[in-house]
Structure 1
Amino acid sequence: MLGQDPDAAQELMHSWAAQLSTRAQAAAELSDRVATIASSAVGANGAVRVTVGASGALTDLRLDDRVQRIPGAELAITIMAAIARAQAGLTEQVSIAVHDTVGTDSETGRAITDTFARRFPKPADEQPDRSERDARDGW
């Protein structure tokens, strides 16, 4: 029994301490990686490009001159759909960071991945871009 052997107890304590230190380092690395994650997506055949940061907030929006031919309401839908796709990309990147640091089977890894998956799900039924509809409809 462990209580009978002080050397075994001390060795066990050192082992636990080393495991905790390793886990803490992995969690800190995951935190650093997640903080720097960004994801981009395009719409309207590249006329719209959005980038979101790790929080999911829009950090960059680029529109080229082709957007002038897209009605305002449709442009808004295209931009919002691109933002949703970019946010869903965060979940994929976080999953990779979790795998590389704390592991996907760890409680921490599952919690982080699940949180991002709930916050930023893949868009279920996206509206096709105007350019995609136009090409399909023969415009």
Structure 2
Amino acid sequence: MFDGRDLHEAERWIDEWRCAIDERADRARILSVRLARLSETARSPDGLVTVTVGAGGDMTALDLGEGIRRRPAGDTAREIMATLRAARSRLLTAVTAVTHETVGADSATGRAVVEAFTAGVNRTD
């Protein structure tokens, strides 16, 4: 049924397939490590609000300049939220870049990662 040449060809194909799987797994691990280390910071146009977000898009730091005391609380709240959105937008840009560099933004893994982060960045809280 199979001659030696067919068997050799099948073994070569399996080895290539295994190497490709291992390579994709390595790139996915690298992506995971790099994504976990990401954070981004944004500053309001007037420089009074600075927001840092971690890898998941959650606020990890909020710095308010002393001049913020002279503003109405509602204005301050809106400026914090706008700056949070800006930091999350920067995070999404970084996630997209890291994904492109590691697994490729057009791969199934890459698309899933970017879509998940986009959903997280666009949440309202």
Shorter-chain TM-score above 0.5:
yes
Per-residue deviation, residues 32-83 of structure 1 (Å, max 9, x unmatched): 0110111111115111100000111111111111111111111011001111
- Separation (CA, whole Å) in 2 of partners of 1:100 and 1:43: 30
Structure 1 residue 118: deviation in Å? 2.6
| Corresponding residue of 1:42 | 43
- 2:69 maps to 1:68: yes
Structure 1 residue 119: deviation in Å? 2.4
- 2:88 maps to 1:59: no
Cα contact 2:56–2:120 (8 A) shared by 1: no
| Corresponding residue of 1:95 | 96
Cα contact 1:44–1:78 (8 A) shared by 2: no
- Separation (CA, whole Å) in 2 of partners of 1:49 and 1:112: 27
Which ranges of structure 1 fall in alignment gaps of 5 or more residues? 122-139
Identity of aligned residues (%): 36
- Separation (CA, whole Å) in 2 of partners of 1:118 and 1:44: 26
Q: In the alignment, residue 21 of structure 1 is paired with which amino acid? A: D
- 2:118 maps to 1:117: yes
- Separation (CA, whole Å) in 1 of partners of 2:55 and 2:14: 37
Cα contact 1:52–1:83 (8 A) shared by 2: yes
- Separation (CA, whole Å) in 1 of partners of 2:58 and 2:81: 12
Greater shift, 27-36 or 38-47, is seen at 38-47
Which ranges of structure 2 fall in alignment gaps of 5 or more residues? none
| Corresponding residue of 2:105 | 104
| Corresponding residue of 1:137 | none
Q: TM-score under structure 2 normalisation?
A: 0.90
Per-residue deviation, residues 70-106 of structure 1 (Å, max 9, x unmatched): 1111101100111111111111101000110000121
Q: TM-score under structure 1 normalisation?
A: 0.81
Q: In the alignment, residue 88 of structure 1 is paired with which amino acid? A: S
Equivalent residue pairs, number: 121
- 2:20 maps to 1:19: yes
1:73-88 aligned at under 5 Å gives the runs 73-88=74-89
